[in-house]
């Protein structure tokens, strides 16, 4: 007997009789035992449709298609499988492509019905349908990344455009941005000629003569005419090619990016509360499918300056902080990936951050964007920059700052793979270093957090990476930065620093001198006041040869220091360009006396790599007067 109000079935077996259900009928009437004695009511709703073999999914965004003798917006027919109570998860890697009837939509309506047209009655469960937007074929991503792992010519066979000189050697005068050699050749000489041309190119890369290789490969080719085409194609690629102007590309559309599906910033907080002078520690778990974009990392700090006993500053308190306060707060930054330290540990992080900021940004950035990191230019030893910064901290006001961390891995654009745990440890600077003014004050950090951008990539990209990682490791080309300090004794008139950098030679070097007590922390001195100390000679030598030009011989007493000042532009690839550093000629000898040297072979700071070179790097400096105090020479090395 069926109760329409409860939707349950009651069975009555009189006397000693028993009712035995087949398994299918038992599921249909929702009885748990198959043998019924006495009067028993089903514990669940009776489901007359529980044994249906298929159900049909409809949606309101696809064009109707013919099913039987009607047109309906059918998306897919799904086969029902699994046992009662089991959770079924079905993923279709070969989707059906159907035309849509609307160009845009905010929501997608989904209907699940039986072959009778009735809605599927999921009385004791639920169904979830996920509609995934179009993603490029995973096979294309797999081939793209696999081709980058080696075993072939040094070009990406899956990419339409190639940047750089191409194959090298005899091909080094190729176009800088053009269709790859073999792809272009394939359109002209066909598949067989393409193979022959490829073999010629491989021979040349291996060091063989072009003519000899051409003759040998011509014999191997199927047919003299075809072989001649391949050889001619390889030869003509050396010369100038025909091209068209981009203004005439009227039928070409830009490519559509499908590899990255989206991203978001996640805020990470400290592992423990910050104590006075204690380190700041973050842990970013690598679990999940998201990649990490280090280049978008932002450190967010709220700080205030108070008395040593924690009381607020008074109106007449004479205290401020040094430039670039966000980074001057920390003397050292350590980064670990999967518990492996990948940063060099020393206490020169403020100088690394300051020199990089000083020489890589111009007026617009320093007067606007960099103020978020509390950068205000010092015109003199303690000029109006200090006054502007101090205004924020009057009466111990809370000041918030935000900016990116200065670390090698954070200064490149490639995404970090998932499943990599990250630990960041920031060690605090002494108050004597980051503050200028009266004694008895300290910095209190009210809030510190880290914004990390996580990126969701296409499943095809993930699969392609997985295939490539089976053959090789992920590559992260970085510009390693090393910042070192050398002592210059009091009373010196010269210094010779042999083996200024041991191992790989740097591609750039920036040198500056500060007072020794300012370097270690002094409330009366600016640690970023780079002085000239009446230097009259500075030379850099590699294996005894002066590089990159003859030594600089300034005379600061007579204001003759133009070559030293120009080195800031030559050494940072800004010479002859409309790119400034917002340091005037008159300001240079007062606070910004730095000397820059570009040791790269092509004077180019592009994405390409140069050959790694080793040698003995020697630095010589002479002064016109005896040094009255100890000083520190800060060297900022940039390596490949």
Q: Sign of torsion, CA 529 533 539 542?
A: negative
**Interatomic CA distance for residues 535 and 537, integer angstroms:** 6
Instruction: Specify the higher pLDDT residue, 5 or 39.
Output: 39
Partners of 266 in beta bridges: 452
What integer is the mean pLDDT of 255-276?
A: 90
Residue-wise pLDDT tens digits, 330-383: 999 999 999 999 988 789 999 999 999 999 999 999 999 999 999 999 876 445
Nearest to 597 by CA among 554, 560, 549, 531: 549
pLDDT at 178 (0 to 100): 33
Residue 338 vs residues 210, 268, 417: alpha-carbon distances, Å? 48, 17, 12
What integer is the mean pLDDT of 493-515?
A: 91
**Interatomic CA distance for residues 81 and 89, integer angstroms:** 10
Task: Evaluate if residue 269 carries a pLDDT over 90.
Answer: yes
| Least confident among 217-221, 239-243, 336-340 | 217-221
Q: pLDDT exceeding 90 applies to what percent of the chain?
A: 47
3-state secondary structure of 460: helix
- Please classify residue 507 by burial: count the beta carbons closer than 10 Å to its beta carbon, then call 0-12 exposed, 13-18 middle and 19+ buried: buried
pLDDT at 168 (0 to 100): 36
- The domain limits of the chain are 2-41, 54-113, 132-153+260-477, 157-172+192-239, 479-639
Tokens at 546, concatenated: 């002066």
Band the pLDDT of 521: cuts 50, 70, 90. Answer: very high
Residue 325 vs residues 314, 328, 389, 528: alpha-carbon distances, Å? 21, 5, 9, 12
pLDDT at 3 (0 to 100): 74
Instruction: Specify the higher pLDDT residue, 117 or 383.
Output: 117
- Please classify residue 530 by burial: count the beta carbons closer than 10 Å to its beta carbon, then call 0-12 exposed, 13-18 middle and 19+ buried: buried
The second-level CATH assignment, the architecture, of 479-639 is Distorted Sandwich (2.70)
3-state secondary structure of 125: coil
Residue 113 vs residues 67, 151, 194, 261: alpha-carbon distances, Å? 14, 52, 54, 32
CATH number of 132-153+260-477: 3.90.249.10
Helices (H), 163-262: 181-205, 210-220, 224-236
**Interatomic CA distance for residues 286 and 299, integer angstroms:** 19
To which residue do tokens 């890589």 refer? 360
Tokens at 557, concatenated: 């007493």
Q: What radius of gyration, in Å, describes the C-alpha atoms of the chain?
A: 36
| Least confident among 39-43, 399-403, 588-592, 621-625 | 39-43
**Interatomic CA distance for residues 603 and 611, integer angstroms:** 13
**Interatomic CA distance for residues 353 and 299, integer angstroms:** 13
| Least confident among 386-400, 430-444, 601-615 | 601-615
**Interatomic CA distance for residues 501 and 480, integer angstroms:** 13
pLDDT at 359 (0 to 100): 95
Entry pTM:
0.67
What integer is the mean pLDDT of 99-113?
A: 78
**Interatomic CA distance for residues 380 and 591, integer angstroms:** 6
What integer is the mean pLDDT of 424-438?
A: 95
To which residue do tokens 């995973």 refer? 138
**Interatomic CA distance for residues 22 and 28, integer angstroms:** 10
pLDDT at 81 (0 to 100): 77
Band the pLDDT of 515: cuts 50, 70, 90. Answer: very high
pLDDT at 586 (0 to 100): 93
Tokens at 111, concatenated: 């209907």
Instruction: Specify the higher pLDDT residue, 235 or 474.
Output: 474
Residue-wise pLDDT tens digits, 421-430: 999 999 999 9
Nearest to 455 by CA among 269, 259, 285: 259
Residue-wise pLDDT tens digits, 10-21: 887 777 777 777
- Number of neighbouring beta carbons within 10 Å of residue 418: 17
Q: Sign of torsion, CA 412 415 417 419?
A: positive
DSSP structure class, residue 91: -
């Amino acid at each position: 007997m069926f109760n329409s109000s409860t939707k349950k079935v009651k069975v009555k077996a009189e006397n000693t009789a028993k009712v035995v259900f087949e398994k299918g009928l038992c599921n249909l009437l929702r009885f748990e035992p198959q043998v019924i004695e006495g009067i028993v009511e089903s514990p669940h709703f009776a489901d007359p449709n529980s044994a249906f073999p298929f159900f049909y999914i409809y949606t309101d965004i696809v064009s109707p298609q013919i099913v039987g003798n009607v047109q309906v917006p059918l998306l897919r027919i799904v086969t029902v499988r699994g046992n009662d109570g089991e959770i079924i998860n079905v993923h279709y890697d070969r989707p059906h492509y159907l035309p849509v009837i609307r160009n845009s939509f905010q929501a997608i309506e989904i209907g699940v019905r039986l072959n009778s047209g009735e809605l599927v009655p999921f009385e004791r469960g639920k169904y979830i349908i996920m509609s995934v937007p179009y993603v490029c074929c995973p096979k294309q991503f797999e081939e793209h990344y696999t081709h980058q792992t080696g075993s072939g010519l040094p070009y990406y066979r899956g990419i339409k455009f190639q940047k750089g000189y191409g194959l090298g050697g005899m091909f080094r005068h190729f176009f800088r941005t053009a269709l790859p050699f073999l792809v272009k050749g394939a359109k002209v000489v066909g598949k067989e000629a393409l193979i022959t041309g490829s073999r010629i190119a491989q021979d040349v890369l291996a060091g063989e003569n072009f003519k000899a290789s051409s003759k040998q490969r011509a014999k191997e080719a199927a047919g003299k005419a075809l072989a001649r085409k391949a050889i001619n194609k390889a030869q003509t690629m050396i010369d100038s090619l025909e091209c068209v102007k981009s203004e005439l590309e009227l039928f070409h559309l830009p490519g559509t990016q499908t590899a990255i599906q989206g991203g978001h910033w996640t805020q990470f907080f400290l592992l423990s509360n910050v104590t006075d002078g204690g380190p700041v520690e973050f842990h970013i778990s690598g679990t999940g499918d998201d990649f990490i974009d280090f280049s978008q990392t932002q450190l967010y700090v709220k700080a205030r300056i108070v008395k040593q006993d924690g009381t607020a500053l008074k109106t007449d308190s004479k205290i401020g902080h040094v430039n670039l306060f966000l980074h001057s707060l920390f003397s050292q930054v350590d980064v670990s990936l999967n518990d492996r330290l990948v940063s060099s540990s020393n206490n020169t992080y403020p100088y690394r951050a300051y020199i990089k900021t000083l020489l890589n940004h111009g007026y617009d950035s320093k007067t606007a964007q960099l103020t978020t990191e509390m950068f205000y230019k010092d015109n003199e030893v303690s000029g109006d920059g200090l006054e502007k910064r101090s205004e924020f901290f009057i009466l111990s006001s809370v000041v918030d700052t935000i900016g990116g961390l200065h670390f090698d891995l954070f200064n490149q654009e490639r995404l970090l793979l998932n499943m990599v745990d990250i630990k960041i440890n920031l060690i605090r600077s002494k108050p004597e270093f980051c503050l200028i003014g009266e004694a008895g004050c300290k910095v209190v950090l009210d809030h510190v957090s880290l914004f990390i951008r996580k990126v969701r990539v296409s499943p095809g990209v993930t699969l392609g990476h997985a295939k490539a990682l089976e053959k090789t490791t992920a590559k992260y080309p970085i510009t390693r930065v090393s910042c070192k300090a050398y002592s210059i004794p009091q009373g010196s008139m010269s210094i010779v620093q042999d083996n200024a950098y041991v191992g790989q030679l740097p591609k750039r070097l920036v040198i500056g001198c500060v007072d020794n007590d300012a370097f270690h922390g002094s409330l009366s001195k600016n640690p970023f006041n780079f002085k000239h100390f009446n230097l009259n000679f500075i030379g850099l030598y590699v294996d005894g040869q002066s590089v990159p030009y003859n030594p600089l011989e300034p005379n600061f007493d007579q204001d003759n220091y133009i070559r030293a000042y120009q080195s800031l532009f030559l050494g940072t690839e800004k010479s002859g360009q409309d790119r400034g550093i917002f340091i005037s000629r008159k300001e240079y000898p007062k606070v910004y006396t730095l000397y820059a040297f570009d040791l790269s072979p092509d004077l180019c700071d592009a994405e390409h790599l140069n050959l790694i070179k080793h040698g003995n790097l020697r630095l010589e400096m002479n002064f016109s007067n005896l040094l009255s105090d100890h000083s520190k020479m800060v060297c900022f090395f940039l390596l490949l």
